[in-house]
Structure 1
């Protein structure tokens, strides 16, 4: 179900005039009308295509000289419905009044618009970007989840409805759905993509991320979304495998597939070092859960007090769990982020590792859409704010299986460059 033209190619064609934005939208409209009813990735919008065509024609009139066209000229972008977008209501996957979650347009959306992108649609999210799923299905097999909480964004890109979509990650909401849907997902170093205008979940660990179909598209999107993106050439990386209890959280079949992926990378010439790491993953998991619960309770305190009866059971349980987290426990959880980062990077320095590689999820997408899958393979990297990417790597039982690549804090540019070679080798 993957379209022929991923982001970088589509953007180049639009900028050069090989395809006009209005004509490109016509092809997407046909595809969307055919595919969307089966996967349900987009929020309803009356007259969506009339609006998009008006905006496309205005863009064509404004930038009639191809040499003056911005990098994402005419590119339609999906936006997860916890991002504020001017002119669009906010629902956040919930039934609370939209005015209680609506605010100024998100910094990331504004950056995309300034780069010439068109807001294609608001995409489905789980309720308040936690675990209560929406209706979205996996484009590869509609009997399976696309992952979450950025379910609509990941599935829309995988199905070729738009070449770029915004998501967010507080535990595993970019990397996991990217892996389940067989596409690229990038979660940046904490704070490197501005998060203003995004409905908070747990601000200490909330990240803005995005989805594309390939690494070339991720590089282009990053150059727009990062405030200070500095392209650089890098030598081939040394890869590290985090052996121990963390890796054992993956399903046996997924671990075996991962070992085969590692072997393919070694055959391609990569040096791979196996390092004992994250032996205390149970403690890390508990600490992150306490942090997310406590900060979610704080983020929703006024709204939940008034509209708590409208919240889904999973979200309600999280908020009540957060009420039981003491101030000392919350402070310890926040402090643990930096301590874990130091531990991971000390191991990287000692073993001369540039990139950790590991499964992007415990296995392929689970059957059914009542759950979005387990984010446990993403959790430690989110907790300490390291940049992480999901790359399409394999199939298991006919469903995509992703590889997760993690670099040092701030090494987003090298990570994207390294990811291209890794993806090619796989």
Structure 2
């Protein structure tokens, strides 16, 4: 199937406006989603389990709430009582949890139809899935929320649930040309999610655009996140350079386009220089994640080592060498860094950076580099991928808006400003 036929994200807000109040009208979006799965998922390979037609229609008919009748797909590291949960691993083939993860319960209470499970990398680490990128079938959709991002980009569902421990929401959103939102750490519950690193694991949200993902965030959190109007004259801090890796020419071009659009729309930018402690956080993230994953995946490593991918098995073997002293020191670094965030955000509405180093890599052998995401995950900052731009090879390249912890509403509003500014400037790719 041609990739032009696959990339077709659907606005959840628009779908909600045209959905009626009767059971039949609420079932329309579900039927469209099921038809879309049948039409494209053989090529896309985003879904690992799908609810039956009659059961899905019954859920839509009974649905009440802000997401009433809207289909949502859930990354397969979240437990679901009515659908298999494999965590991306053959170890859990056929596993059926007795209860839903809390985020799934929140979806159902908000009226969403949990239509199916989306492919995840093995235990949300880095071993790639066979999911393809709807924008270019020869490229990875990113990871670890591979299926979640691909499903939204292909129009299977207007919303998807993912997660981020390093860059697993923002990076796939950038690669697939959709909005991704990693909330402040702890804002959405992770109970019932297969834990990888309890210091970093964060529920992530996907939608067609920034306003859509803000709507989903509000429906699940109960916080006032819906973007009515963005800040009138936001100030974006733009880093002078990056201590973790240099952005590609594509990422630099995307940033320059976004900056020009922001300035034309009445916003402004100011240079920000990262101090040495920002570079030190890269190693701290690795130490904390390794120490915790050695424990959270201890059962799988100790009892099912042969069933793990070589990539994950070797990571856990190395992770087992991280001692408690190194872990405690890394956590102390993290605490000190969080205490410096006020200085980092002084005088700016939000930071603006690339979402990923480049377009999605070609092939399915890697999920890409989370270099531009790890530090913000460690710091607990809300982050939003703003879609709409393309690189020199025609693949999506996103820009990332980053805010202070618990300033999610302002961060989403700032991201919506960037999105609208690029659209008004005529820079958004079709």
SS of match in other structure, 1:83: coil
Match of 1:244 among 241, 245, 255: 241
Worse overlay, 202-211 or 302-311: 302-311
| Distance in 2, Cα, partners of 1:255 & 1:246 | 15
SS of match in other structure, 1:358: strand
| Distance in 2, Cα, partners of 1:188 & 1:174 | 10
Match of 1:425 among 395, 399, 421: 421
Q: RMSD of the alignment, in Å?
A: 2.1
- 1:40 paired to 2:35: no
SS of match in other structure, 1:249: coil
Task: Give matches, 1:207-226, under 5 Å.
Answer: 207-226=202-221
Worse overlay, 163-172 or 86-95: 86-95
SS of match in other structure, 1:8: helix
Worse overlay, 90-99 or 192-201: 90-99
Cα contact 2:9–2:208 (8 A) shared by 1: no
2:55 alignment partner in structure 1: 54
Match of 1:8 among 13, 28, 33: 13
1:189 alignment partner in structure 2: 184
- Residues 220-264 of structure 1: CA deviation (Å, up to 9, x unaligned): 111122154466876332110122233752123322331232122
Cα contact 1:77–1:119 (8 A) shared by 2: yes
2:320 alignment partner in structure 1: 323
- 1:355 paired to 2:356: no
- Residues 381-409 of structure 1: CA deviation (Å, up to 9, x unaligned): 00110000001141011100001000011
Unaligned runs of 5+ in 1: 64-68
SS of match in other structure, 1:141: coil
Match of 2:108 among 103, 113, 118: 113
Query: CA 1:101 to 1:408, structure 2 compared with 1: closer, same or farther past 3 Å?
Result: farther
| Distance in 1, Cα, partners of 2:56 & 2:22 | 17
- 1:337 paired to 2:334: yes
Cα contact 2:215–2:225 (8 A) shared by 1: no
SS of match in other structure, 1:96: helix
Cα contact 1:261–1:393 (8 A) shared by 2: no
SS of match in other structure, 2:78: coil
- 1:402 paired to 2:398: yes
SS of match in other structure, 1:391: strand
SS of match in other structure, 1:221: helix
| Distance in 2, Cα, partners of 1:230 & 1:4 | 21
SS of match in other structure, 2:345: helix
Cα contact 1:194–1:226 (8 A) shared by 2: no
2:3 alignment partner in structure 1: none
| Distance in 2, Cα, partners of 1:335 & 1:104 | 36
1:22 alignment partner in structure 2: 27
Match of 1:309 among 306, 310, 315: 306
The normalised TM-score by structure 2 is: 0.91
Query: CA 1:278 to 1:317, structure 2 compared with 1: closer, same or farther past 3 Å?
Result: farther
Cα contact 1:242–1:278 (8 A) shared by 2: no
| Distance in 2, Cα, partners of 1:373 & 1:4 | 22
- Between the two proteins, the alignment pairs up a number of residues equal to 414
- 1:416 paired to 2:417: no
| Distance in 2, Cα, partners of 1:284 & 1:58 | 45
The normalised TM-score by structure 1 is: 0.92
1:283 alignment partner in structure 2: 280
- Residues 257-312 of structure 1: CA deviation (Å, up to 9, x unaligned): 31232122122221101010154544221111111111111101123111111111
Query: CA 1:4 to 1:339, structure 2 compared with 1: closer, same or farther past 3 Å?
Result: closer
Cα contact 1:249–1:377 (8 A) shared by 2: no
Cα contact 1:294–1:319 (8 A) shared by 2: no
- Residues 132-186 of structure 1: CA deviation (Å, up to 9, x unaligned): 1111010010000000000000000000000000000000000000000000000
Cα contact 1:245–1:278 (8 A) shared by 2: no
- Residues 8-66 of structure 1: CA deviation (Å, up to 9, x unaligned): 11123225459723332332233222211111000145xx4xx2433423542x46xxx
